Structure 1
Amino acid sequence: MTSLDRGSASSDLPDDEDRADPGGGRWGRRKSRDEHEDKHLPLWQETILLLAIALGLAILIKAVLVQAFFIPSQSMEPGLKVNDRILVQKVSYWGGGEPQRGDVVVFKDPGGWLGSAESSGPSSLVTRAMSKIGLYPSGGHLVKRVIGVEGDVITCCDKKGRISVNGQPLNEKAYIQLDGADCNGPMTRTCDWTAGPVPPDRIFVMGDNRNNSADSTRHMCLDESTGCVPGEEFVPVDLVVGKVFVLLWPRDHFRWVTRPDSFDDVPASPGDE
């Protein structure tokens, strides 16, 4: 046999991929397939991994982006009704951003604003766990509209029954409910009151159902008030969770929640001039 013949014979041998195994199969190809299959996790491990990722994303979203809540009372009617599901976004208040006049915000109870039933939140183990990750509304929070921010002076009311902010009357017909009240700020049992200037890092809030809302006006110390603490009517900004941006459920109530243009003409607070 010449060297050329030997070379030809060598080239005719099957390579690793095509070489037959003793059982008659192609062990090279089988080995390649087995190595590829070994890279896949078992189904139960993949399921646990996917659940862990989903849980982590839910916690991250709740912490920094969006959280679900429900409307606990009639105080925000007619726009938001009892048990409506809403979503709150937190992005607007990142980087030093703060609530603006007209925003509908969710905030933690400053203390004594809610009754025990409203503060209890979800009752079952499952719903409590879901509320922790933002997949179920949690209790102990209030939903109100921001009327005044730092430095603002809020006055009730002009001859037309309108509330004024820094001397500018607000046209609130599009979103408030009065139920026969004589003015747009009746919860003090009088239509003659002034609040502010709003302290730094505080907001003054009111419900849209002006005759049925335990809001800032209920916590003011008027001349005839006893047992109240001045300043309790102002909500600390650091208790604000975020701004309501969508009414999600029931489906027939679905709508985007935006800031009304009635606040556009409010001048800067006297302290900013």
Structure 2
Amino acid sequence: MDTPTQHSERDRSSEPDTGPGERSRSSRTRARIASALSWRRVLGGAVAATVALLLFSSYVVQPFLIPSRSMEPTLRVGDRVLVNKLAYRFGAEPKRGDVVVFDGTGSFVREDLDANPLTGLVHGAAASLGLAEPADTDFVKRVVGVGGDRVVCCDARGRLSVNDVTVDEPYLYPGDTASRAPFDIVVPAGALWMMGDHRSRSRDSRDHLGSPGGGMVPVERVTGRVDWLGWPPARAGSLEGTGAFGGVRTPGGAHG
């Protein structure tokens, strides 16, 4: 006859082996699962953050890397500025003196019908995060004339005038005049006349007078207004405005 003790011994001997080796393998499996889940969470968080940043830069504020000397001394090569994309979203339009980023397709550059859309998409995403230079069609310039303005250059002192009012431009690169090439233009409604602050190093509306559109940039091509300088830290802060055009009167309208 079996004794209770013998039953107990047989019951224990029928249980699966849970010795040190089995427990070690189980611990390693749990650790691998936890690690995989942790990486998935990190990756998912990174993707979500990137998407949120792309959406923010697409609709609110976009970093923009300054690629050339055309806006010196206001902006320098390598500066990273923040473009306010809401500045002209609710009925407001660019004003004389604003520094803006715009798409120069059709005004400053011809449309590239053979461009690779995937390459453009990837580069555009990197540029919108401030990680790459802007596309060849993106420009940063200062608004000098708005719709209806007559812009003439230059007088005996090398200054331009807008609507018969002489404009002193304190933001010009030291030693530059308003323009080495004379011009006399009237800006069509819904368009802008753009110029760089470093006039002797800037390819702007003046260089496209003989092109279709006459160098005028449609208002709808403006991406936003440069409101802040984010890098380098020593110069970070709001971009100062200018009162250079304060005495200019819009034909049939107000000053400014």
TM-score relative to the length of structure 2: 0.72
What is aligned with 1:161?
Answer: 158
CA shift in 2, pair 1:208/1:129, >3 Å: closer
Matches within 5 A, 1:60-79: 60-79=55-74
* Contact 1:178 1:210 (C-alpha < 8 Å) held by counterparts: no
Structure 1 counterpart SS, 2:244: helix
Q: Unpaired runs of 5+ in structure 1? A: 1-41, 221-227
Note the C-alpha offset of 1:144: 0.5
Note the C-alpha offset of 1:258: 3.0
Matches within 5 A, 1:174-185: 175-177=171-173, 179=175, 181=176, 183-185=177-179
Structure 1 counterpart SS, 2:152: strand
* Contact 2:107 2:217 (C-alpha < 8 Å) held by counterparts: no
Pairing partner for 2:94 from 99, 111, 115:
99
Note the C-alpha offset of 1:109: 2.4
* Contact 2:70 2:197 (C-alpha < 8 Å) held by counterparts: yes
What is aligned with 1:22?
Answer: none
Structure 1 counterpart SS, 2:225: strand
* Contact 1:148 1:203 (C-alpha < 8 Å) held by counterparts: yes
Note the C-alpha offset of 1:55: 2.2
Using the alignment, how far apart are the partners of 2:67 and 2:124 within structure 1?
19
Structure 1 counterpart SS, 2:126: helix
User: Is 2:191 the partner of 1:195?
Assistant: no
Structure 2 counterpart SS, 1:262: coil
Which deviations, in whole Å up to 9, do the C-alpha atoms of 1:72-92 show, x marking residues without a partner? 211111121112111111111
Q: Unpaired runs of 5+ in structure 2? A: 1-36
Note the C-alpha offset of 1:147: 0.3
Using the alignment, how far apart are the partners of 1:164 and 1:229 within structure 2?
23
Which deviations, in whole Å up to 9, do the C-alpha atoms of 1:200-242 show, x marking residues without a partner? 221001000112210111222xxxxxxx335331011122111
Using the alignment, how far apart are the partners of 2:71 and 2:62 within structure 1?
19
Aligned length: 210
What is aligned with 1:4?
Answer: none
What is aligned with 2:248?
Answer: 266
* Contact 2:64 2:127 (C-alpha < 8 Å) held by counterparts: no
Using the alignment, how far apart are the partners of 2:173 and 2:109 within structure 1?
21
Pairing partner for 1:216 from 199, 205, 216:
205
CA shift in 2, pair 1:52/1:70, >3 Å: closer
* Contact 1:153 1:269 (C-alpha < 8 Å) held by counterparts: no
What is aligned with 2:18?
Answer: none
What is aligned with 2:223?
Answer: 241
Structure 2 counterpart SS, 1:52: helix
Note the C-alpha offset of 1:51: 2.4
Using the alignment, how far apart are the partners of 1:112 and 1:44 within structure 2?
47
Using the alignment, how far apart are the partners of 1:263 and 1:102 within structure 2?
7
* Contact 1:151 1:272 (C-alpha < 8 Å) held by counterparts: no
Note the C-alpha offset of 1:139: 2.2
Note the C-alpha offset of 1:68: 1.2
Which deviations, in whole Å up to 9, do the C-alpha atoms of 1:119-172 show, x marking residues without a partner? x9xxx99x8475165342432211100001111111112333221111121121
The two structures, once aligned, show a CA RMSD in angstroms of: 2.9
Note the C-alpha offset of 1:107: 1.0
What is aligned with 2:19?
Answer: none
Pairing partner for 2:143 from 143, 146, 150:
146
Note the C-alpha offset of 1:44: 4.0
Using the alignment, how far apart are the partners of 1:206 and 1:94 within structure 2?
23
Using the alignment, how far apart are the partners of 1:110 and 1:260 within structure 2?
28
* Contact 1:151 1:271 (C-alpha < 8 Å) held by counterparts: no
Using the alignment, how far apart are the partners of 1:55 and 1:130 within structure 2?
10
* Contact 2:107 2:216 (C-alpha < 8 Å) held by counterparts: no
Using the alignment, how far apart are the partners of 1:71 and 1:254 within structure 2?
14
| Amino acid across the alignment from 1:70 | L
Q: Percent identity between the aligned chains?
A: 35
